[in-house]
Amino acid sequence: MQEKNNIPEFNRETLDLVDQIIKRYPAGRQKSALLPVLHIAQSENSGWLSPEMMDYVASLLDIQPIEVYEVASFYSMYNLKPVGNCVIEVCHTGPCWLNGAEKIIAHFEARLGIKPGETTADGKFTLKTVECLAACGNAPVIQVGQEYHENLTAEKVDNLLEQWKRENKVSHTNPYL
Ligand code: FES
């Protein structure tokens, strides 16, 4: 991605990808491509959607910026402020809560020294709590980018954190490439 006068601009490859997604829908219904295009925009912008990026998405889809803002602010998978390289989303809805989500959240808090909604000082990790991730049968569950980690225990959390630190984990990869 490049920027011109502070306005983001996708490169040719990403624009072609957006074009392919828009073409999945009938002519004049390009707004239907909003969710996937927002995922792409977020991955291109270090994991979050700035106002400038949302305005750019509106221009690509020929819709009003408010139509982008209202969708981006509704779904928890879109981040409206800067995040760390690795965003850890912990489900805390009923089934996960009953199976120990609170303990898992507390363990992440203790290991990372942050609360949900915060990012570590080194910019490596952001912790979030989210609603049901649709994997309730294997609660407690977290999502990191396109990966799910299920049946979590404190020991599994420790192993994952060690692994992610070792590999400098980045969770905001483009899901369409
Ligand atoms: S309640 Fe956690 S995945 Fe459904």
User: Per-residue pLDDT tens for 5-30?
Assistant: 677 899 999 999 999 999 999 999 99
CATH 3.40.30.10 placement within the chain = 86-166
Confirm whether pTM is higher than 0.85.
yes
What pLDDT is stored for residue 30 in this prediction?
95
Q: For ligand 1, what atom is nearest to the CA of residue 95? A: 1
Q: For ligand 1, what atom is nearest to the CA of residue 94? A: 1
**pLDDT confidence band for 162 (50 / 70 / 90):** very high
Residue 177 has pLDDT above 90, yes or no: no
CB 25, CB 10: distance < 8 Å: no
Handedness of CA 30, 32, 34, 39 (dihedral sign): negative
Distance from C-alpha of 148 to C-alpha of 134, rounded to nearest angstrom: 10
Average pLDDT over residues 121-126: 98
Residue 162 backbone phi and psi in degrees, to 5: -60, -45
Residue 117 Cα to ligand 1 midpoint, Å, equals: 19
Q: For ligand 1, what atom is nearest to the CA of residue 135? A: 3
Residue 139 Cα to ligand 1 midpoint, Å, equals: 6
CATH 1.10.10 placement within the chain = 2-72
Give the CATH number of domain 2-72: 1.10.10
Residue 128 Cα to ligand 1 midpoint, Å, equals: 14
Give the model confidence (pLDDT) of 43-97 as tens digits.
Answer: 999 999 999 999 999 999 999 999 999 999 999 999 999 999 999 999 999 999 9
Residue 122 has pLDDT above 80, yes or no: yes
3-state secondary structure of 128: strand
Report the CATH architecture of 86-166: 3-Layer(aba) Sandwich (3.40)
What pLDDT is stored for residue 64 in this prediction?
97
Residue 88 Cα to ligand 1 midpoint, Å, equals: 15
Q: Are strands 86-91 and 142-144 parallel, antiparallel or unpaired?
A: antiparallel
Measured from CB, residues less than 6 Å from any atom of ligand 1 are 91, 93-96, 132-136, 139, 141
Give the model confidence (pLDDT) of 130-141 as tens digits.
Answer: 999 999 999 999
Residue 96 Cα to ligand 1 midpoint, Å, equals: 5
Distance from C-alpha of 173 to C-alpha of 176, rounded to nearest angstrom: 9
Residue 4 has pLDDT above 80, yes or no: no
